[in-house]
Each structure stands twice: as C-alpha cells, then as structure tokens.
C-alpha cells in the first residue's frame, strides 16, 4: 500500500470517495474551536474542505499525488486555508506539538515494533489539542478486503488508546454504527473511534 498503489487506485476512477466529510469527523469536531488541523490520508479532500470552511487552517497530507490534485482543484477558494502536502509519515513525521487537531480516518498506519510512526503522529498534537483516530470495525470486514490487504497489520483505535501515556485524556474509545452507508460490497457497518485530548 505504497504511493504507487494509492495513486493507481485514484487514477482508476474519476472519483474514489463520496465527496462528503467523514461522519465521525463531523460529530466529534463540530464543537472544537478552529485552529490548525492535520488531516492525514486526506484523499480527495472532503474532510479538509469541511474543516477549512469552519475556520480551520489545514495541513492535508496524502501519499497519492492524484488525490491531492483533485482535492485542490475541487475547492480553489480554500487555497489560502489548506496546504496540500505529498508525504509518507512513516518516513517523514509531521512537525511536533503543532496541531490543535490531528485527524486520521481509516488511515492505514502500519504497526511497527518501536511504534515510531505512531509516536510521530501522536507527537504532532499540540498541548491541549485533540487526536481523532477512526477505523473500520474489523468484525465487519468483507472477505475481499482481507484478500486486498491485511487490516490486522495496521493500528486500530483501541490499540492506540492503550498506548497513550499520562499526558492524554481519552474522551471516546468505542465502536459505533456507521451513520452513512458503507462503500458498496465492503460490509463496513461499524466504526471504531478514538478521541483523545493532550493535556495543556
């Protein structure tokens, strides 16, 4: 699941995702005061667009150039508020203690023995900031996804919650039904959601 894999996936269709922001983001971030957000795996930009229109400055990161180009072209009026960035955070961690919101929805962060990439993601949250990490409930995955990739190789929200230290307050750590239809054929009926706040 490298840059070539994802860019080919985007180039294989005119639009890979719905164009609507993730429902978990809308639910969990609607009441947060706007600041500087990091949108990881931003794809075609729906979450970044939603945040920017609510007053956030957004650094939107994806590994696929095609996705970033589409995201920028879809909302040129937000060019001053969103920085579209091609990066792989497993190789280049985000700036530490910078972001008031770090948002990662269905972001395939590979597990590693030293948790280096995960620690880099967590370290990006500023004091007083919020981590929002959402995944698919693995119990609902369709068989074809198991053949395409191995979801157990990637961090799940509950696992991330267990790795947080004393400087974090876990506000949400749960599995909940999706409020929007899953992509056809995937069986994603439930989401796993972690929302945590770094103490000031």
User: Positive or negative, the Cα torsion across 156, 11, 102, 182?
Assistant: negative
Residue pLDDT, tens place only, 115-142: 999 999 999 999 999 999 999 887 756 5
Expressed as residue numbers, the domain containing 136 is: 3-12+27-198
Of 37-46, 55-64, 96-105, 152-161, least confident by mean pLDDT is 152-161
Would residue 17 count as lying in a domain? no
Backbone angles phi, psi at 81, to 5 degrees: -105, -20
Neighbouring C-alpha atoms within 13 Å toward the C-beta of 118: 20
pLDDT of 1 above 70: no
Give the mean model confidence (pLDDT) for residues 2-15. Answer: 76
The CA–CA distances, whole Å, from 198 to 24, 34, 127 equal 19, 16, 5
Would residue 85 count as lying in a domain? yes
CA triple 22-26-32, angle to 5 deg: 135
Would residue 171 count as lying in a domain? yes
Q: What is the pLDDT of residue 13?
A: 76
Strand order in the sheet with 57-62: 82-86, 57-62, 36-40, 99-105, 125-136, 190-198, 168-177
Give the mean model confidence (pLDDT) for residues 189-200. Answer: 94
We report the CATH number of the domain holding residue 98 as 3.40.50.150
Residue pLDDT, tens place only, 37-60: 999 999 999 999 999 999 999 999
Give the mean model confidence (pLDDT) for residues 191-195. Answer: 96
Total of domains in the chain: 1
Would residue 20 count as lying in a domain? no
């Amino acid at each position: 699941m490298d840059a070539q894999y994802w860019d080919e996936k985007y180039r294989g269709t005119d639009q890979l995702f719905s164009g609507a922001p993730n429902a978990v983001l809308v639910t969990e971030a609607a009441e947060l005061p706007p600041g500087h957000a990091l949108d990881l795996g931003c794809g075609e930009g729906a979450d970044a667009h939603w945040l920017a229109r609510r007053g956030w400055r957004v650094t939107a990161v994806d590994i696929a150039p095609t996705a970033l180009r589409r995201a920028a072209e879809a909302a040129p009026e937000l060019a001053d508020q969103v920085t579209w960035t091609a990066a792989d955070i497993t190789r280049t961690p985000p700036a530490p203690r910078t972001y008031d919101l770090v948002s990662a929805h269905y972001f395939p962060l590979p597990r590693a023995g030293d948790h280096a990439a995960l620690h880099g993601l967590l370290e990006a949250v500023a004091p007083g900031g919020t981590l929002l990490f959402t995944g698919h409930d693995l119990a609902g995955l369709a068989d074809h996804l198991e053949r395409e990739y191995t979801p157990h190789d990637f961090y799940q929200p509950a696992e991330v919650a267990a790795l947080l230290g004393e400087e974090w307050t876990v506000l949400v750590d749960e599995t909940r039904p999706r409020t929007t239809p899953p992509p056809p054929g995937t069986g994603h009926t439930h989401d796993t959601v972690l929302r945590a706040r770094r103490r000031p």
